[in-house]
């Protein structure tokens, strides 16, 4: 049975984090899972437990403290005109995650071709932000009940750099936090960018339901050999 490690505050890493225990003796791949706003690094532990036995699962804590055991990647207000983000915080978290994943890769001898980043809600937003601006850092990303920030557009990588990237979008059709239209916009945007991706919808609200979890893990396992190709992202 998988458990969580104590919180690591190692200054060699840009973020505090936990890992699923026991870790593989010699990990072949890296899965970084990002929690949503107001959550914490333990939230996606059950999802990570479904990853392959040779995968190192890392769960970082968002850098912004919102309350007891409540953290985020950036502050956001939900208004009649849609979500209004603190853009500087979103960008700082994106840059920090790029550094953090690089530090993990170096520490464990895992390259970008064997690395996937995924997240729920705001964590999914950051997964897309990282992957679409620094595609050399990961092989694939997943946005689970999230969106792609329009503010990201000036920083997007070009089509050549994005060509090896793979994406996954999953969203509830009854989501009352981030309406399903955001997921459709994200899918259309990835089409325009030429990013190979899969999009799935569920009759659920703003949640990581059983079917969404199972489909994500199936996508992860099914595409593992595709990602494990030497040279991607190098």
CA atoms within 13 A on the CB side of 122: 31
List, in sequence order, the alpha helices (H) in 61-209.
87-108, 122-133, 159-162, 180-193
CA distance 89 to 71: 13
pLDDT at 197: 96
pLDDT at 1: 79
Cβ neighbours for 82, distance < 8 A, ≥ 6 positions apart: none
pLDDT at 226: 60
In sequence order, what DSSP letters do the residues of 36-73 get, joined into one string?
-TTB-TTTTHHHHTTS-TTEEEEEEPPSEEEETTEEES
- Determine the Cα angle at 158 with ends 94 and 199, to 5°: 70
pLDDT at 228: 55
Output the tens digit of pLDDT for each of the chain's 234 residues.
789 999 999 999 999 999 999 999 999 999 999 999 999 999 999 999 999 999 999 999 999 999 999 999 998 887 777 778 888 999 999 999 999 999 999 999 999 999 999 999 999 999 999 999 999 999 999 999 999 999 999 999 999 999 999 999 999 999 998 999 999 999 999 999 999 999 999 999 999 999 999 999 999 998 766 665 444 333
Between helix 122-133 and helix 87-108 the angle, nearest 10°, is: 70
């Amino acid at each position: 049975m998988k458990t969580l490690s104590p919180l690591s505050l190692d200054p060699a890493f840009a973020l505090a984090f936990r890992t699923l225990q026991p870790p593989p003796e010699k990990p072949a791949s890296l899965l970084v899972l990002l929690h949503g706003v107001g959550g914490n690094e333990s939230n996606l532990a059950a999802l990570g437990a479904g990853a392959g036995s040779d995968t190192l699962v890392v769960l970082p804590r968002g850098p912004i403290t919102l309350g007891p055991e409540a953290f985020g990647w950036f502050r956001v207000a939900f208004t009649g005109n849609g979500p209004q983000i603190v853009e500087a915080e979103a960008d700082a978290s994106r840059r920090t995650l790029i550094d953090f994943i690089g530090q993990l890769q170096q520490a464990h001898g895992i390259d970008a071709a064997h690395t996937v980043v995924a997240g729920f809600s705001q964590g999914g937003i950051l997964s897309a932000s990282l992957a679409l601006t620094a595609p050399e850092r990961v092989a694939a990303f997943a946005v689970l009940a999230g969106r792609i920030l329009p503010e990201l557009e000036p920083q997007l990588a070009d089509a050549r750099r994005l060509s090896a990237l793979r994406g996954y979008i999953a969203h509830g059709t009854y989501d009352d936090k981030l309406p399903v239209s955001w997921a459709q916009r994200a899918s259309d945007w990835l089409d325009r960018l030429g990013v190979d991706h899969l999009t799935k919808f569920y009759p659920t609200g703003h949640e990581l339901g059983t079917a969404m979890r199972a489909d994500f893990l199936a996508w992860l396992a099914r595409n593992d050999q595709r990602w494990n190709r030497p040279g991607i992202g190098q």
